[in-house]
Amino acid sequence: MTGPEVVTVGEAMAALRATGPVRLGAPMQLSVAGAEANVAIGLARLGHRVGWVGRVGDDEFGALVLRTLRAEQVDVSHARLDTDGRPTGLMAREDRIADLVNVAYYRAGSAGSALRVADVLPALDPGVRILQLTGITPALSPGAAEAVHAAALRARELGITICLDVNYRARLWSPAEARSALLPVARLADVLVASADELHLVCEDPSLPEQDGVAALLAQGRREVVITRGGDGASATSADGTVSTLARKVPVVDVVGAGDAFVAGYLSGLLDGLDVEGRLHRAATTGAFAVSTRGDWEGLPTRRDLALLDQPAGTTLR
């Protein structure tokens, strides 16, 4: 069997989604969450071979994570079942007023936080084309941070394209802690993805304005710097210049997971050999599917779905 062309590394968790305040006993739905798992599912739905590397607890939540990923055609042969009593991480989110979402993490001491170098390196071989990392996993523990850095080093040795999505989580660590851990990984990345307010975390000089910061990152060896701007679209800058795209206009239901969907679309375009404009268009499309449906990954499109947003409004397909 042919192995994955993309490997993602991180923590996948059980996700409890409340439709109102938890303190009032709002109904909750159980699913799976985790940025790297979301990207893996997004790529798999678009027809790419993708593997997820991480640890889950030897518990029912861990079984749910692995079962869900397998059902989505994600290779979990390098996932590890933690046998030392660490639980699968948990994320609880509640919908508050209007479109405000409150997210709480229960990840301290989780199986995912025990990720080690030896868990990750066996998943990387010359057949892998892309290693996808985020700034979330290094926040979980020093060991997890070491594993992410080691994965990036091995990928660089093997000529694997490295994509780092900064994905800063203020509830996991401080900006200073994030900079300390992410700068060494960012120096190895080929494709760097960040929101406009995250860019300073991976710039050697955090005081630089956006345009100068992007230029400095390219000068240091980054091949592409992609800046996401939520509803205002995104841009990608390389040695050939900057290309921008607008967000696709859809009714917004749930914005959680939109960034992961964007990354999945962008990397899918990269794997398919699309130019920068084509990659951004696919990324904006996958992001639109994510925000127009509830859940982190449930609404992500298949390859056949990609053309649906190009149909006139109100179209009925018969």
Q: What is the pLDDT of residues 85-134, one digit of tens each?
A: 999 999 999 987 766 788 899 999 999 999 999 999 999 999 999 999 99
Q: Write down how long the chain is.
A: 318
Give the pLDDT mean for 185-194.
98
Mean pLDDT of the chain: 94
Q: What is the pLDDT of residues 131-172, one digit of tens each?
A: 999 999 999 999 999 999 999 999 999 999 999 999 999 989
Can 82 be counted among the known catalytic residues?
no
> CA–CA separation, 56 vs 31, rounded Å?
15
3-state secondary structure of 226: strand
Instruction: For residue 6, give the amino acid letter.
Output: V
- The pLDDT score that the predictor gives to residue 295 is 84
Of residues 133, 123, 110, the one with CA closest to residue 56: 110
Q: Which residue has the tokens 């979402």?
A: 101
- The pLDDT score that the predictor gives to residue 129 is 98
Please identify which of the residues 205, 260, 272, 296 carries the catalytic annotation: 260
3-state secondary structure of 265: helix
- The pLDDT score that the predictor gives to residue 209 is 95
Domains of the chain: 6-11+35-86+115-299 (3.40.1190.20)
Q: Is the pLDDT of residue 318 over 90?
A: no
Tokens standing for 201? 């975390």
Of residues 191, 229, 187, the one with CA closest to residue 210: 229
Q: Is the pLDDT of residue 183 over 90?
A: yes
Percent residues over pLDDT 70 in the chain: 97
CB 92 within 8 A of CB 104: yes
